[in-house]
Structure 1
């Protein structure tokens, strides 16, 4: 089943972190002085996406577990540098209180926000992108989500690494142009070259170009590892040694990097409303938190 207008799948943490750091706290405060910069920026990003992409369905994905135990068990370094001394993720003190407000506003508007215990927002996005009718547009600044791009199925990534106003609409050709591998090979590419932002060490001495060349030549990390045992495979001795030394890491890294596509999410009503489902609740929140402008812009975007 294919629809004419897209399902917009929004990586909510990616957007509200970006909003928080993009708007000074002094520029957006409630009457009591509480900063609402992340909320304001997030709402305006959603409004811009609705106006520009014209979806008829929209879901926001949440991190119920930003560092799942099953990923850490495979790779203890996974996001280790982002663990706070007292445990949990390092999150600015003035951002944490804004997240529940974002969720309250989304509920008043009628936009579903969903997560699942033991999984990251990426996994929720991967599951919905796999199970929901196309076309699907995934919105995130997380490079790992390039792996979800699927031209045959109609799944694209709207990459907001430079902001929503300068998003990059990525199909498979765009992923190839950017990294030298197809979207289906991105997870293996990332495992080989590593990603310090996620605590993935990669293979020592293997950078972007070598990783892309390997994935392009052999097709998958499994095939690369199988070729290591073939003297006729043509590996330079130095490269063969680097890959062999990293064999234990490469045995688990792809599972860590690959987005889960089978999160047991309940059925969702994904239809984007044309007006808030709780207008009085939305008005009360807008007045209490000095968010009349962003809320009005979102309501106007819904009305189209």
Structure 2
């Protein structure tokens, strides 16, 4: 492992364990009947990712707050459709099936025995943790996610790319700036502004009414960024008269949405040792004991085999 070039693998953990839960049949359970499909699926994902991309460091980035109040205050519709019926005595809870909720503590245990640190930040999402770690990294970074919002972090100059899981783990896609250009007609650095303009129903992001992907890409190509588009619209020179009217009508939304959409890159994070250390007897015994207790079987075996020994 020491001979491999340094590389940091950042896991958008919730994105992966949701995919595992829905993608792995709930046939094999623990002795007490607990579902373990998300745990087993995540272990298989880690095995494939480590074997395929050869990282020397791995961090499981965590949603300490999946819907931060400061984002909701700016844009109340943000992820609103994912909220379980509001409980006045506590924070919003994301709609998560009970069999998956029950597996989350076990997922954290499994990551611990593999030596993969879990890193979150109060009042921030995993995206913000990923953005901070990727921006600060002094080695190449692969970000594993099914969330297009993180395309904004792609940076060819600093060797930051996305391992995109949207088509499944058997069809992983490496996304760099050229891929973003080919898909959307804009550069990765423009992706946050592109998402603001186009909108994203999956995040409760309304976008600018009447501005779709092609219009958003054309405006960004012509004016560089959202500030340039607004300046041109106010001057009566940006896009068609209809587009200018739509942009100006959405001024209140455009004043707040960029802060909601842009990933935070400067959190003060306490990151434990993220190096993939060779397995010792103690960790191997702990991993095998966890696997036996929870019937993780071949999934844990594959994850362990992918780690340095």
TM-score, with structure 1 as normaliser = 0.96
Aligned equivalent of 1:176, options 170, 174, 181: 181
Q: Which residue of 1 aligns with 2:284?
A: 279
Give the Cα separation in 2 of the matches to 1:29 and 1:52: 28
**How far off its partner does 1:89 sit?**
0.8
Q: Which residue of 2 aligns with 1:257?
A: 261
Q: How many residues align?
A: 300
Aligned equivalent of 1:167, options 172, 176, 186: 172
Give the Cα separation in 1 of the matches to 2:135 and 2:41: 29
Q: Which runs of 5+ in 1 are unaligned?
A: none
Q: Secondary structure at the match of 1:268?
A: coil
- Quick check: 2:194–2:220 contact (8 Å CA) kept in 1? yes
Aligned equivalent of 1:140, options 137, 140, 145: 145
Give the Cα separation in 2 of the matches to 1:10 and 1:41: 14
Deviations 1:179-203 (A, max 9, x none): 1110000000000000000000000
Q: Which residue of 2 aligns with 1:289?
A: 294
- Quick check: 2:5–2:56 contact (8 Å CA) kept in 1? no
Residue 248 (structure 2) pairs with residue 248 (structure 1): no
Give the Cα separation in 2 of the matches to 1:235 and 1:181: 16
Identify the range of structure 1 (263-272 vs 138-147) with the bigger mean alpha-carbon deviation.
263-272
**How far off its partner does 1:234 sit?**
4.6
Q: Which residue of 2 aligns with 1:151?
A: 156
Matches within 5 A, 1:27-66: 27-66=27-66
Give the Cα separation in 1 of the matches to 2:215 and 2:64: 35
Give the Cα separation in 2 of the matches to 1:266 and 1:91: 28
- Quick check: 1:228–1:240 contact (8 Å CA) kept in 2? yes
Residues 1:16 and 1:267: Cα distance change in structure 2 (over 3 Å): closer
Give the Cα separation in 2 of the matches to 1:108 and 1:237: 60
Identify the range of structure 1 (15-24 vs 260-269) with the bigger mean alpha-carbon deviation.
260-269
- Quick check: 2:219–2:238 contact (8 Å CA) kept in 1? no
Give the Cα separation in 2 of the matches to 1:113 and 1:163: 23
Pairwise CA RMSD of aligned residues? Answer: 1.3
**How far off its partner does 1:238 sit?**
1.1
Q: Which runs of 5+ in 2 are unaligned?
A: 87-91
Matches within 5 A, 1:2-151: 4-25=5-26, 27-86=27-86, 87-151=92-156
